[in-house]
């Protein structure tokens, strides 16, 4: 007999039943351990929206990922990151609603975004704090990077806030588009500045396609005093901008529970 044939036959005499029995034993032990260390499942799919294609992932607790898709490489990389925390299962039906919600939201339906948000993909506590705090900024208002930093107890951390927002896994639902430079410039956006403008426009801000700054028509609401002013009110020159929310119009400020300034009478 040739040595190769003989080698291939060594240990080959294990009967199929014996192997099956071993497999059965092994499988039940593996299953028992897996039950404890399993990554949670996430339904994944691509949905169309007026803002382009979105890669969406939903866990049992809510939306974990809402990613602006650029190209195929981007898709693979994003799913790669998702896999570190979740076991993705393709399920277009489970995520379809997100596309619909985004479409309705951009059309002006303020209550369209109904999914609860699951920030499991956010690993850093600072980023978690920033994104959590950001959810308190209402539709129709924007805050500055500095201001948001101060709100999480980290003054002078505008850049860090910017980085935290850049890696926001759930844009639109966690409204990172509502954060601008403290000098009034619109600033950047993970999905591109055009999408940021589009979102802010749908929330009531008067911005044209190439706008670089928020318009003068915004009113300044002070988070501490709960007073809102015109942007040219004489008090705005001195105020600590960290405390300011910029509202698209007086009505939005009123809705956020603020009263008009008695000097500039914005209402």
Q: What are the residues binding other proteins (CB under 8 A)?
A: 3-4, 6-8, 10-14, 18-19, 22-23, 25-27, 29-30, 33-34, 37, 39, 44-46, 48, 53, 69, 71-72, 75-76, 79-80, 83-84, 87-90, 92
Name which of 77 and 263 has its Cβ closer to other proteins: 77
264 is catalytic: no
Name which of 8 and 217 has its Cβ closer to other proteins: 8
Q: How far is the CB of 31 from other proteins (least distance, A)?
A: 10
Q: Do residues 88 and 44 touch, judged by C-beta distance below 8 A?
A: yes
Q: How far is the CB of 30 from other proteins (least distance, A)?
A: 5
Which tokens sit at 106? 């951009």
Q: How far is CA 217 from CA 76, 96, 229, in A?
A: 43, 37, 11
Q: How far is the CB of 57 from other proteins (least distance, A)?
A: 11
In 10 A of CB 255, how many CB atoms? 14
Q: How far is CA 54 from CA 25, 51, 109, 214, in A?
A: 43, 8, 19, 27
Name which of 92 and 225 has its Cβ closer to other proteins: 92
Q: How far is the CB of 161 from other proteins (least distance, A)?
A: 29
Q: How far is CA 47 from CA 2, 51, 92, 191, 213, in A?
A: 59, 10, 8, 15, 31
Which of the residues 26, 176, 229, 233 is marked catalytic? 176
Q: Which residue has the tokens 């002013």?
A: 229
Name which of 76 and 237 has its Cβ closer to other proteins: 76
Classify strands 259-260 and 227-230 as parallel, antiparallel or unpaired: parallel
Q: Known catalytic residues?
A: 176
């Amino acid at each position: 007999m040739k040595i190769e044939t003989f080698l291939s036959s060594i240990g080959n005499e294990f009967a199929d039943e014996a192997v099956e029995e071993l497999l059965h034993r092994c499988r039940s032990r593996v299953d028992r351990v897996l039950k404890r260390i399993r990554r949670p499942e996430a339904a994944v799919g691509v949905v169309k929206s007026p803002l382009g294609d979105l890669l969406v992932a939903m866990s049992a607790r809510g939306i974990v990922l809402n990613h602006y898709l650029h190209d195929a490489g981007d898709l693979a990389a994003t799913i790669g990151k998702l896999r570190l925390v979740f076991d993705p299962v393709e399920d277009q039906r489970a995520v379809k609603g997100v596309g619909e919600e985004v479409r309705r939201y951009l059309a002006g339906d303020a209550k369209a975004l109904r999914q609860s948000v699951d920030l499991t993909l956010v690993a850093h506590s600072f980023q978690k704090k920033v994104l959590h705090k950001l959810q308190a900024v209402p539709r129709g208002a924007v805050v500055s990077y500095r201001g948001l930093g101060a709100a999480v107890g980290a003054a002078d951390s505008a850049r860090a806030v910017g980085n935290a927002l850049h890696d926001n896994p759930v844009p639109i639902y966690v409204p990172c588009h509502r954060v601008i430079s403290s000098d009034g410039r619109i600033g950047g956006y993970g999905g591109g500045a055009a999408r940021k403008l589009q979102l802010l426009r749908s929330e009531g801000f008067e911005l044209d396609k190439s706008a670089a700054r928020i318009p003068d028509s915004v009113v300044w609401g002070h988070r501490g005093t709960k007073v809102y002013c015109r942007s040219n009110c004489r008090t705005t020159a001195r105020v600590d901008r960290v405390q300011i929310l910029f509202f698209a119009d007086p009505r939005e400020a009123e809705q956020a529970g603020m009263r008009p300034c008695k000097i500039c009478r914005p209402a």
